Amino acid sequence: MRINAVVATRMTSSRLPGKVLLDLCGKPALVRLIERLRQSRYIQEIIIATTTNATDDIVAQTAKEAGVQFYRGSEEDVLKRTVEAAEAFQTDYIVQVTSDCPLIDAVTIDASIERIMEHPYLDYVGNHLVRTYPLGFSSEVFRTQALRHVERTVSDPAVHEHVSLYFYEHPELYHLSNVEAAHYLRHPEYRLTLDTQEDYTLIRQVFEKLYPVNPHFSLYDIVKLIESDRSMLEINQTIRQKTAR
């Protein structure tokens, strides 16, 4: 059973173009995310799924320099790009973490992977069907074969833009499971995703305060930091998250 992370990444973000290369303690946000994915006990390959656009040459180069795989495909059809990237590297189970999540830790990711390993009848495991984790800590695991079926049979543009949408919009068709955060880590009100300049300011502060002390800092460390200085949450509290529909 081959478990690979597929990270859909492009430079042309609508709200914060080039965000994946913004500096976090001396390295691009994408590289910091790769470092954190490497701490997983189960992920075998990390695949950066970027586009064929010239603007994303630098994304492919960054992946190459970081020593991970990359795949280049459609810009608009993220679903097709993701499943093609997975199949190109013989992936049985896709671990989907978006490039908006440079703070996500291996403990969070591995909790979703362990759930699907323990219950192989499951088609999908995520941790935001009922959100208990902060925004920016979403981790999903699903079968490549199931995703390919969706790509071939569903034409809904929203499904092709938001890779896993069809799974959790159709619970009658799939066996789904939701992972909930431990009590102390239950902070769905925290916005720790990278989508705006305000988000970047907050995430940069987290890295600057925690990374020099422990490069492998966890969500537990982030919660301790924020609870010691709740004013940090004010930095991006006015930002509203975009929805799939």
Tokens of 4: 């690979």
At 243 the pLDDT is 87
Kindly state the tokens that stand for 212.
């020099």
pTM higher than the cut 0.95: yes
User: CB of 48 within 8 A of CB of 59?
Assistant: yes
Tell how strand 3-8 and strand 45-51 pair up: parallel
What mean pLDDT is reported for the chain?
97
By CB neighbour count within 10 A (0-12 exposed, 13-18 middle, 19+ buried), where does 234 fall? exposed
Widest Cα–Cα separation across the chain:
49
Question: Does residue 245 have a pLDDT over 90?
Answer: no
Q: What is the pLDDT of residue 13?
A: 86
- In this predicted structure, the answer to whether residue 244 has a pLDDT above a threshold of 90 is no
- The DSSP bridge partners found for residue 140 are 96, 126
Domains observed in the chain? 3-235 (3.90.550.10)
* Strand order through the sheet with 140-143: 69-73, 45-51, 3-8, 93-96, 140-143, 124-126, 176-178
Q: Are 81 and 8 in contact (CB under 8 A)?
A: yes
Task: For 163-206, write each residue's pLDDT tens digit.
Answer: 999 999 999 999 999 999 999 999 999 999 999 999 999 999 99
